[in-house]
Chains A and B, each alone.
Chain A
Amino acid sequence: MRRTGLRYLPLLLLAIAWELLARLELISSSALPPLSHVVVAWVDLMRSGELVSNGYASIYRAMTGLGLSVLVGSLLGIFMAWWRPLNAFLSPLVEIFYPMPKSALIPVTVIWLGFGDGSKILLIFLGCMLPVTIGAFNGARSSEQALVWSARSMGASRLRMLWDVVLPSALPELLNGIRTALALSFILLVSSELIVARSGFGYLIGFLGADGAYEPMFAVVLTVAFLGFAADRAFQAFMNWMLRWRT
């Protein structure tokens, strides 16, 4: 208990710094309200149930988009490292759509998917896919040639090798890619919901911010950050468990 307390002490220090910054008017409190006010606003939002209902909508979108990107991205990355024509065909598409701000893609996605959940999931999927693909691709590519050769000389089939040699050696980079994607999914979620939405964290942040209601807005921002934090910690534990053979 005390150890975890000590571990997260830096966050407390940061929180105190925030409070002081706002209280001493080093930054106009209209732009950055004191943290204590934000906490009060958070309690109100929780009590009215709005944070929960909007959060539910958001998490559904984020998890669907992230799940798709992990599935497609890791398969794509590994097979792209494995079979060159696939790489040649698909990588330009990935490379073109990834460095695009998701809000700029709205005019395109709305043609196909409208303004509903579909377009938001697509944007999260696109944004999360590249880290996963790059991770899987680089990981698979760097699987040790010696291992591959020896497996081959022992008569392993290509598919067998993919499973026994390439996948395990791609795993550390792949998992790190997924970890990046996990964090990105929270950011993308907000930015896709900011533009057009009827529910979700991004919707709350958007309209509260537009009205200058910064206390509840920062309460939502911090909620997103802490959900991301919890997800990241859980994923790290999962990563360590998956990679326990390494050390």
Chain B
Amino acid sequence: MAHVTGVRDRTSRGWRNAPASPFVARIGWGLARSASIVLLLAGWEILARSGTFTPFVLPALTSVLERILADAMSGDLFLGASATLYRALTGFLIAAVGGISLGMAMTRSIGIRWFFDPIISVGFPMPKIAFLPVVILWLGLYDVSKISMVAFEAIFPVVTATIVGIKGVDREIIWSARNMGASNRELLCQIMLPAAFPQIMTGLQVALPISLIVAIVTEMLMGGNGLGGGMMSASRFADSPGVFAGIVEIAAIGYCLIKGMSMLRRRMLLWHQEALEPSTV
């Protein structure tokens, strides 16, 4: 640990003009980071107030925030967000575990690779939402079918990233490990997985937003509350503040999820060279 931080300090000094105080620097970066969002929101409010658009086309940011606040007070926001998050994250976990195992199995066994490789290539770009009626009939209209749709869509990037990661492991490392008498199992758990981990994390980083998107889209198509269901009924009743409140809520939740994921990445990849650079995305 000490070693790693030591290296990081050295690089940051060597690479950039080290700021006078880390505290000031942190605030500075925080400001820079929020600048684009502040600009976006200010632009929205100004545009909405300028009268170019009717409140139906573009409601003022303030009225949208009021709606969010009202939803938060009444508890609707919490209920909707937790229903959506439950569906998205359960599906994502299934996709993560299933995707990594399938990806590993595919690099290890020719038979499994033979079976799944063409299916993955055909299935990934397939608009799976077209199978929604089939899923509804099999799994009903409630959570199970929504979670299955999420897992079904999110598993593909995880599988492909796992395969690319494991395939990309330096052969010399594998050979030297073999020479030192590592068993297949040891090779997989101690060499392959850690070496492929950055790639796998990239796959998970792509899969997580997909999970959220699919959860919301299925809610929009099948109803059943959640943020997507709420947005759908707001748009049916031409309730623009409700629609835009949904957009803002989804954006905020998605942002937190993506941020959390990249923090997790930084945590888990402390040993990896990429952690030396200041982690961002």
* Contacts from A to B (Cβ < 8 Å): 6-11, 14, 27-28, 31-32, 80-81, 84-85, 87-105, 107-108, 111, 130-131, 133-135, 137-138, 141-142, 144-145, 172-173, 176-177, 179-180, 182-187, 190-191, 194, 201-202, 205, 209, 214, 217-218, 221-222, 224-229, 231-233, 246-247
**Which residue of B40, B206, B217, B259 is within 8 Å of A103 (Cβ)?**
B217
Q: How far is the CB of A78 from chain B (nearest CB, A)?
A: 12
19 additional contacts (CB under 8 A) given A92-B33, A100-B251: A7-B117, A10-B117, A10-B119, A27-B134, A84-B16, A84-B278, A85-B32, A94-B281, A96-B251, A101-B217, A104-B231, A173-B199, A176-B202, A179-B160, A187-B153, A209-B130, A214-B133, A225-B126, A229-B118
CA distance A142 to B265 in the complex (A): 13
Residues of B within 8 A of A (CB): 11, 16, 29, 32-37, 40, 53, 57-58, 114-119, 121-130, 133-134, 136-138, 153, 156-157, 160-161, 164, 168, 171, 198-199, 202, 205-206, 208-210, 212-213, 216-217, 220, 228, 231, 235, 240, 243-244, 246-247, 250-251, 253-255, 257-259, 272-274, 276-281
User: Chain A residues with Cβ under 8 A from B116's Cβ?
Assistant: 10
Q: Provided the pairs A95-B255, A232-B124 are in contact, do residues A142 and B202 lie with their beta carbons within 8 angstroms? A: no
B residues near A7, Cβ cutoff 8 Å: 114, 117-118
Residues of A within 8 A of B171 (CB): 247
- Identify which of A141, A184, A226, A231 gathers the most chain B CB atoms within 10 Å of its CB: A141
Secondary structure of the A contact surface, majority rule: helix
> Do B125 and A228 have beta carbons less than 8 Å apart?
yes
Task: Say whether A228 contacts B126, CB under 8 Å.
Answer: yes
Q: Which residues of A contact B157 (CB under 8 A)?
A: 131, 180
Instruction: Please name the residue on chain B nearest to A212 by beta carbon.
Output: B133
